[in-house]
Structure 1
């Protein structure tokens, strides 16, 4: 059995073998099962809608002595919760902002976090003693800016369908999930997800180092709703240094949600590590549930989602019919599709909504289908981005090898 200390020394000495999860899985599919001594670290990743995301921000809202204590706060209109420390008469406001908090139907906490990460100026309004105090700030102005999750990176998620007639308004759809069983919404990055490769939490205990939205962070422990069968993680990281392309807002039929990403290294310690890492999409169960009661009634696998399908959306300008209004731009939950200009790769979550809506087929993505109870139900919504998760695996591998990230 290798130790993490030994693997650290190999990395520092330039002799370590570090593979991304996609690289490792390709070897397994080809029948080349690596031995523990052949691989030292495998980098895994996941990116998608994670509702249990929040931020702790500390901002100087006014000069000391201006007001007693903040009673309410808004950031670009998004409501925040001042406290718990009152910071009496300091003009300083500590506040928690939920990733799912929102103002209107198109802007919420997830959008706010990405704006901060991008260095954009944010407008703060603080209510205290019957008056409103205003200030503009950027992430660099924050004494503290920390993102944390109450639950994230589930080992696997659930596919949702609507077995009733009509459309069900839900966070798992942009326009409402249509029935009966007319479409499916899925989440989860399957075989490359961190906990799919460490299901017994041998590695991901409190203090384990990870990347959160591209920035160095740590695991606090298991998150809420974590079970031995479907574990998930609670993590945190400083927001300074986060990549706005790996987080953001995602507009659904039930309001804006929050995109979060986590990349994590798994040291290969022994044969048990290799066995856990050898899991493939074909073996990863994806429960299928009715959206009305969220009780699974059938099973699929992540191979139906990610094998032989398109991991990104493509735009063909020559096929564009210049529709007014543009249905693809109108439905895009991240604002990535720009009429006549194509797709902004930073904002795009590869969800496929625009491809399903484009009447001229200028936007294309094969999202696959699931087959509950012998039916063929097309996937029309992906709330996890396998492409960006794969890119995060590469980013973490490079960071390990160059020494900017340590096990």
Structure 2
């Protein structure tokens, strides 16, 4: 037993042993002792559709209009209200991370651009008249991000057993049929909920880091269950870091990237047992896209063990096609005009590796092996970025050391 007050004291005087989840798992794999560890930081980053923002946006001088009938930000439709802010020229609104301006820009992109400090064009209709304004996040008196469900304990691998390709939010390109491709989500052994499956340290009101900003757990999210729990969280947009969020293009339209980090104090053996979970221990249901019913079970070591942590570009293989299919299909617009990759922006999803016929882009993304037939199905898309989640784990650790985040 290690009382929580003792851990807080160790954090305050700088003597606490703090490991990221990845560092802890490496110790376990090497057979090293972990009994000296005080705190473990966990994180996840991926496409989380249930993300939305509540904003208060100045549009026009007081008295210009009574209340907004419609409003859009950078072309992304939002929902005005419920408070009308009558005659203040100010609109309270809700914008969904999955709202679409077009097939390449949506709510996730908008949230990222706001956090990045970019100017956003706002258009309002009221009583048949139009009002427009250009604003930045600093102009907004209120801006808060929420999730309805996020950080699922574990996700499912998606396949398409039908003959025809399927356009779906679970693939960047149409998902080919006859079980020839698989798409996956989830950061496996470093996911906060995977390391705290009973939500002992992730209950309502618990501090968490959302897109790099201090936030709180609201409670469990929609579709949460004892077997597959998830979280609802919130945090202030103005404190967020744009590298941990963004838009993600899918065959069915733009989706939203969100990141969540947390700390788990090692207060007893039960916590250590939960923290000892490895990718190979985590089952990943394999489901058919048509009805989302399980057709087998894989595991997360097939996704993350020995697979690509970055995509390599081989310019000597590149034919400089125009248009470049890899560039136009990249879900996060990480491929530059000359074919090189913006590694900071890259999500390491695998789309460019899948689509480039000349293999100018290289990366091992593995395959899933369902327990029902044992055959390997190539993974063509990862909708979670474990590399970025590990960066978040280190950020949370550094915040703990500096006293910017509390257990």
TM-score range, shorter chain: over 0.9
- 1:33 CA displacement: 4.0
- For 2:95 and 2:30, the matched residues in 1 are separated by 46
1:264 aligned to 246, 262, 267, which one?
Answer: 262
8 Å CA contact 1:329, 1:338 repeated in 2: yes
Matches within 5 A, 1:5-404: 5-35=5-35, 38-372=36-370, 373-404=373-404
Alpha-carbon RMSD across the aligned residues, in angstroms, is 1.0
- Tell me, what secondary structure is at the counterpart of 1:167? coil
Deviation string 1:322-381 (CA, Å, 9 cap, x unpaired) is 222212102101111113151123322111101111222221110000112222100000
Deviation string 1:75-96 (CA, Å, 9 cap, x unpaired) is 0010000111111111110000
- Tell me, what secondary structure is at the counterpart of 1:80? strand
- Tell me, what secondary structure is at the counterpart of 1:177? coil
- Tell me, what secondary structure is at the counterpart of 2:343? coil
Count of aligned positions: 405
Greater shift in the superposed pair: 162-171 or 319-328: 319-328
- 1:319 CA displacement: 3.0
8 Å CA contact 2:97, 2:256 repeated in 1: yes
Greater shift in the superposed pair: 171-180 or 341-350: 341-350
- For 1:346 and 1:224, the matched residues in 2 are separated by 32
Deviation string 1:74-122 (CA, Å, 9 cap, x unpaired) is 0001000011111111111000000000111000000000100110000
- 1:242 CA displacement: 1.3
- For 1:341 and 1:244, the matched residues in 2 are separated by 24
- For 1:213 and 1:107, the matched residues in 2 are separated by 19
8 Å CA contact 1:317, 1:340 repeated in 2: no
- Tell me, what secondary structure is at the counterpart of 1:97? strand
Instruction: Give the TM-score normalised by the residue count of structure 1.
Output: 0.98
- Tell me, what secondary structure is at the counterpart of 2:10? helix
8 Å CA contact 2:77, 2:100 repeated in 1: yes
Which 5+ residue runs of structure 1 have no aligned equivalent? Answer: none
- For 2:134 and 2:344, the matched residues in 1 are separated by 25
- Tell me, what secondary structure is at the counterpart of 2:72? strand
- For 2:79 and 2:344, the matched residues in 1 are separated by 29
8 Å CA contact 2:308, 2:348 repeated in 1: no
- For 2:206 and 2:309, the matched residues in 1 are separated by 29
- For 1:281 and 1:44, the matched residues in 2 are separated by 14
Greater shift in the superposed pair: 172-181 or 144-153: 172-181
8 Å CA contact 2:287, 2:296 repeated in 1: yes
- 1:2 CA displacement: 2.4
- For 1:359 and 1:352, the matched residues in 2 are separated by 13
- For 2:204 and 2:172, the matched residues in 1 are separated by 35
Runs of 4+ in 1 over 3 A off after TM superposition: none
Instruction: Give the TM-score normalised by the residue count of structure 2.
Output: 0.98
- Tell me, what secondary structure is at the counterpart of 2:247? strand
- 1:318 CA displacement: 3.3
- For 1:159 and 1:185, the matched residues in 2 are separated by 6
- 1:399 CA displacement: 1.0
- Tell me, what secondary structure is at the counterpart of 2:176? strand
- Tell me, what secondary structure is at the counterpart of 1:195? helix
